[in-house]
Amino acid sequence: MSNTKVLPLVEPETAVEPCCPPLAERPFSAEEAERTAKMFKALGDPVRLRLFSAVAAHADGEACVCDISDVGVSQPTVSHHLKKLKEAGLLSSERRGTWVYYRVEPSVVAAMGRLLTAAAG
Amino acid sequence: MSNTKVLPLVEPETAVEPCCPPLAERPFSAEEAERTAKMFKALGDPVRLRLFSAVAAHADGEACVCDISDVGVSQPTVSHHLKKLKEAGLLSSERRGTWVYYRVEPSVVAAMGRLLTAAAG
DNA sequence: ACAAGGCATCGACGGACATCGAATCAGAGG
DNA sequence: CCTCTGATTCGATGTCCGTCGATGCCTTGT
């Protein structure tokens, strides 16, 4: 095998499902809304949105914390927000030596996008 | 002089721009993040998500408040959340006789969808 | 004009959350 | 082993926000 890439194998506590049923098909149930709202809430903070955007815009689709931590808040706060994004399933992380790298979770983000696109019409 | 009545003259609600720059192209600035986060935050609450979904799923693309207000919270709370969604530019409202109708604002929702779709790919 | 119903606003309360400094954990290197 | 640096966790604090009952506004029907 030529590819030595190591899969994270992290398995976030609650397996983040593909995401969400279509938004305009039928009214959300309380449970569906509870689950889906967490993802939107994760992006509903300016600092988290900047961090997420910084990761998404970074080359190779991943970014070290040290590369994106200049968003005007302290370093513990950056770590706190990255954890939130990870819990929401939008980011995944992997430690390689000294640094920790974060990357966008494409399937979850794409599902959120489809959810909105469907609602628009 | 007495006829120079001071009107509220509210024009700000319509100032909601098409939405947002691409997410994965470059890191968001603080201002961009501030503006965009408001929209995601609006969908980051389970009750608001249910209300939004109920409107989006309703026939003719619009729904009376009386048709969607059964989400487990009091009537003032429903009104409060609908106002938030309206302020975020995701819904618009119109009074016709006794009832008030809400409808999805397609351009804004579509822009949010594209923003995420771009980040995923 | 009056009463009734739908919806919005107000004021208050309680829980959630963003933020920070300090402490702690995890690798790399001397 | 010890130290240095990067990153997370902990504990405290101030603010924001979701929720409610009471109240007010608007429209309809009597």
Class of domain A30-120: mainly alpha
Each residue of B16-34: pLDDT tens digit? Answer: 455 568 888 899 999 999 9
Position A120 scores a pLDDT of 87
Domain B31-120 class in CATH: mainly alpha
Q: What is the pLDDT of residues A15-29, one digit of tens each?
A: 445 556 888 889 999
pLDDT of residue B4: 39
The Cα of A2 is separated from the nearest Cα of chain B by a number of Å equal to 25
Closest Cα of chain B to A59: distance in Å?
A: 10
Q: Closest Cα partner for B94 from B54, B56, B58, B63? A: B63
What are the residue ranges spanned by the domains of chain B?
A: 31-120
Q: Across-strand partners of A102? A: A63, A93
- Which pair of structure tokens corresponds to residue B31? 């201002």
> Range with the lowest mean pLDDT among A6-20, A58-72, B74-88?
A6-20
The per-residue pLDDT for range A97-114, each reduced to its tens digit, is: 999 999 999 999 999 999
pLDDT at B22: 83
Question: Can you tell me which residue has its alpha carbon closest to the C1' of nucleotide C5?
Answer: B98
